[in-house]
């Protein structure tokens, strides 16, 4: 059984088929609940993973708060991302998935050595920024940077590798599942 860590907002575990679940928060007393009737960003990511994966343990490391409905995407702090990644060193997941990235390239001084150390033991997958900015840790050579298939070249659940990937990313994924539109 694989151990998969998601560094994101809090995951609503009752929306998952998988029941092997652990939750950690690095928010130090800040509100960690979901304040919306909609799924949190972390929950949506976990639901996609749950749909495509079997026999795994999910480790939800909350590093960001979910914003109130219709108030933008989750935002966080580089310190919380660093603490969440340090927790991964202790938990030793096989796979680390994160949408939490930064386009502030000077944040690399906080992340590079840590992510490199983690990548020696775990596979690290990080989404690139949806606006097309260079981001870290997504652009590190030892991280699998993933871009959304915005052109719908792929079908839902399909992944494509391109040698000439954009912004240091060679992997494209389509997660436009009909059930997510609900």
Question: pLDDT tens, 151-168?
Answer: 889 999 999 988 877 667
- Given a cut of 70, whether residue 37 has pLDDT beyond it is no
Supply the pLDDT for residue 73.
73
Evaluated on CA atoms 94, 60, 145, 107, the torsion sign reads: negative
Instruction: Identify the pLDDT of residue 65.
Output: 87
**8 pLDDT tier (thresholds 50, 70, 90):** very high
> Does pLDDT of 36 surpass 60?
no
Q: Give SS3 for 101.
A: coil
Mean pLDDT of the chain: 88
Q: CB atoms < 10 A from the CB of 13, how many?
A: 17
Strands of the chain, DSSP E: 2-8, 21-25, 56-62, 95-98, 123-127, 144-148, 159-161, 171-173
Task: Looking at mean pLDDT, say which of 9-18, 39-48, 85-94, 99-108 comes out highest.
Answer: 85-94
Average pLDDT of span 47-68: 91
Q: Are 61 and 84 in contact (CB under 8 A)?
A: yes
pLDDT of residue 140: 93
Give mean pLDDT, residues 110-136.
91
Residue 84 pLDDT level (bands cut at 50, 70, 90): very high
- Cβ-Cβ contacts under 8 Å for 146 (sequence gap 6 or more): 125, 126, 127, 128, 138, 169, 171, 172, 173
- 118 close to 138: Cβ distance less than 8 angstroms: no
pLDDT of residue 67: 74
| Contact status, residue 8 vs residue 64, Cβ threshold 8 Å | yes
Bond before 82 cis per omega within 30 degrees: no
Lowest mean pLDDT among 56-60, 122-126, 168-172: 168-172
Average pLDDT over residues 78-85: 95
In angstroms, rounded to a whole number, what is the distance separating the alpha carbons of residues 160 and 153? 9
- State the CB neighbour count (10 A cutoff) for residue 121: 13
Q: What is the mean pLDDT of residues 82-99?
A: 96
For 174, the 3-state DSSP assignment is coil
Query: Across-strand partners of 147?
Result: 172
Contact 92, 122 (CB under 8 A): yes
């Amino acid at each position: 059984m694989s151990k998969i860590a998601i560094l994101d907002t809090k995951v609503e575990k009752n929306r998952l088929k998988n029941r092997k679940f652990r939750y950690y928060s690095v928010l130090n007393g800040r509100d960690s609940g979901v304040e919306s009737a909609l799924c949190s960003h972390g929950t949506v990511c976990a639901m996609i993973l749950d749909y495509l994966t079997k026999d795994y343990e999910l480790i939800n490391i909350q590093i960001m708060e979910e914003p109130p409905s219709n108030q933008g995407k989750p935002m966080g702090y580089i310190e919380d991302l660093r603490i969440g990644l340090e927790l991964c060193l202790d938990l030793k997941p096989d796979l680390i998935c994160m949408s939490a990235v930064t386009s502030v390239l000077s944040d690399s001084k906080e992340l590079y050595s840590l992510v490199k150390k983690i990548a020696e033991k775990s596979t690290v997958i990080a989404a690139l920024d949806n606006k097309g900015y260079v981001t870290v840790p997504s652009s590190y050579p030892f991280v699998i940077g993933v871009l959304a298939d915005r052109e719908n070249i792929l079908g839902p659940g399909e992944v494509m590798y391109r040698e000439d990937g954009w912004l240091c990313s060679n992997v494209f994924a389509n997660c436009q599942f009909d059930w997510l539109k609900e």
